Chains A and B, each alone.
Chain A
Amino acid sequence: MGNWSRFNIASIVLGFGFLYLPIVLLVIFSFNESKLVTVWAGFSTKWYTQLWHNQALLDAAWVTIRVALISATCATVLGTLAALALVRYTRFRGRMLFSGMVYAPLVMPEVITGLSLLLLFVAIGLDRGFWTITLAHITFTMCFVAVVVQSRLLSFDQSIEEAALDLGATPVRTFFAITLPVIAPAVFSGWVLAFTLSLDDLVISSFTTGPGATTLPMKIYSQVRLGVTPEINAICTILIGVVAIGVVVASIVTKQREAQRERDERAAFAQS
């Protein structure tokens, strides 16, 4: 870190400015006294208190969280199973097709995914609402979970599963006692990824929603069309805060675990 040349400093300032200036402005204006978003009139937290009385916004938040929890959990189960099938059974018929189909939503434009799901729901006569959004979210987040879990499974030492079988555990018990605990961190990060993707999805939700099921991104978007209020800034600030805390906590925990592991290994070698 010795070389802080002017060029380095300039690129860092520019890069971070580009990324975070809009967010910083948003956070600052969420504490603005004035109703006018762009005019600073002193510090206030009144927009935050007002949030608690905006029932529509709270409802939307509650819908979003429920959709995200359910869809992330289902997507994690399905995605993990898909990853297992892809990594473990390398020679089944139609494997290429299967893996292509699992990963297609990864690159598919959201508009197309949303539209096709809408057509499907209409065709089979499913009433659009909470459950159609959830189903749609499961569909498009599952492949992200599969990617994360698959990369973990590729480095998984399969002999530990064989050891479990050898010691008398049935394949099902082996999966729950050995495989799942070992890949759990990857499964969990897959879940977190699916949860966040579901939380901030706007396009697919808009296509598959129905009466009474408005998610927070949809609510914010529709309100913004009528003009940005400081209330929106406030709720966005809360969202940013939640995400930031999550990221920081996760990275601290990982760092500490790694450090602990290194210490343990050094101790083991010192003794031997």
Chain B
Amino acid sequence: MKSLGSIRRSFAPWADPASKPFISVKNVTKRFGDFTAVDDLSLDIYTREFFALLGASGCGKSTLLRMLAGFEQPTSGEIILDGQSLAGIPPYRRPVNMMFQSYALFPHMTVENNIAFGLKQDGMPKADIAARVQQMLKLVKLEKFSQRKPHQLSGGQRQRVALARSLAKRPKVLLLDEPLGALDKKLREETQFELMDLQQELGLTFVVVTHDQEEAMTMADRIAVMSHGKVIQVATPAEIYEAPNSRFVADFIGDVNIFEGAVSGAEGGYVRLEGTNGFPIRMASPETPATGGKSAVAVRPEKIRVSRQPPAHAPVNAVQGEIWDIGYLGDMTVFHVRLKDGRVIKASSLNAVRAVEDPLGYDQEVWVSFGEDAGVVLKD
């Protein structure tokens, strides 16, 4: 079996049955009146992990984060941190710190005092506080701005102050609520890598909430995809993208083409589907669904080829259509191919060379095809 690429020096404590989770969320439910924000949710997060909670707004990810911080109490269930239950422990006694989406900097304090605030609450000696603040300012490259007030800083600088402030107490866990949401695209991409380096350097456990899948894919060791208060899938970014466990995850992460059909047979790790689009599909699958049942195959656009000539394996995994739309993105080109029944298939190809002879154009008759291990057989 081919394997999905491993990330970050094969850091995978979740795959090791001997390792103990650092944070355990056990059957946690949170209700606000009639509304169930988090629904019987269980999760394990390991030490030094960069863990992302990903979902659309209102999926309960922020509520879960607020329960970890102590601003909300679970209606039922339990959260265990480092072997200790967090039930009834107020936010100011928890060994976690949070970076807020709005940064929540204290407007009446200088950058220096913002960073020192948490240390002062602990009664740390003055000299130590000053040293730690200097260290934090250096970490986020804001040494020159220590005497500024928050309103005298740009958005990116404020974000770094918020980060320094939440890291100053050396929390066991740092919670980040949409940490890069307020930054523009370029700054956001830079900061993503800065955050990753920082997390590695300090050896902390990060739990980040985001609605931006690209951000989660870039930064996280593992991602929990959430919907309606439940976790749909917890896996590494590569697994989430290449082996989604459900139609929801396949659809939520990245672009996808879904081909439906009835299972007509299975042999040697391959499933055959009689596709409703009028062409048979043969797809690798570790599990074999029951013959006759309905199933679907998800194929990512970049794994779909567009060609003028039919591929050798036609008509299996291949269908004819005409080019309906072309989106040129620079690094790649996206084709929308319209089939005879009106369905549109998305295919993208990398622009690996600067110019091609006779490029594909609008309204041309083409074949779209994909390999036998290009897609995922979805369970539901």
Residues of chain A at the chain B interface (Cβ within 8 Å): 157, 159-160, 162-171, 173, 177-178, 181-182, 261, 264-265, 267-269, 271-272
Contacts and interface: CB of A to CB of B under 8 A. Distances in A.
Contacts of B104: 157, 159-160, 162-163
B106 interface: yes
B121 A182 contact: no
Instruction: Report, as a range, how many residues of chain B touch the other chain.
Output: 20 to 34
A60 to B, nearest CB: 40
Contacts of B121: 167-169, 173
Contact of B106 (A164, A261, A268): A164
Given A162-B91, A166-B91, A181-B108, A157 B154 contact: no
B155 A272 contact: yes
A168 B169 contact: yes
Contacts of A265: 151-152
A90 B306 CA distance: 60
A2 to B, nearest CB: 35
B316 to A, nearest CB: 56
Nearest to B117: A167
B98 A269 contact: no
Given A159-B102, A182-B108, A268-B157, A167 B151 contact: no
Interface in B130-159: 148-149, 151-157
A272 B156 contact: yes
Contacts of A168: 92-93, 118, 121-122, 169
Q: In the A-B complex, list the 5 residue pairs whose CB atoms are closest, starting with the nearest.
A: A272-B154, A167-B118, A168-B121, A163-B104, A159-B104
A124 to B, nearest CB: 42
Given A168-B122, A182-B107, A163 B98 contact: yes
B193 interface: no
B92 A169 contact: yes
Interface in B312-339: none
B165 interface: yes
A166 B107 contact: no
Contacts of A159: 100-102, 104
Nearest to A262: B151
Contacts of A166: 69-70, 91-92, 96-98, 166
B362 interface: no
18 contacts: A162-B69, A162-B98, A162-B100, A162-B104, A163-B106, A165-B90, A166-B97, A166-B166, A167-B165, A173-B121, A177-B117, A265-B151, A265-B152, A267-B152, A269-B154, A271-B154, A272-B156, A272-B157
Nearest to B122: A168
B178 to A, nearest CB: 12
B102 A162 contact: no
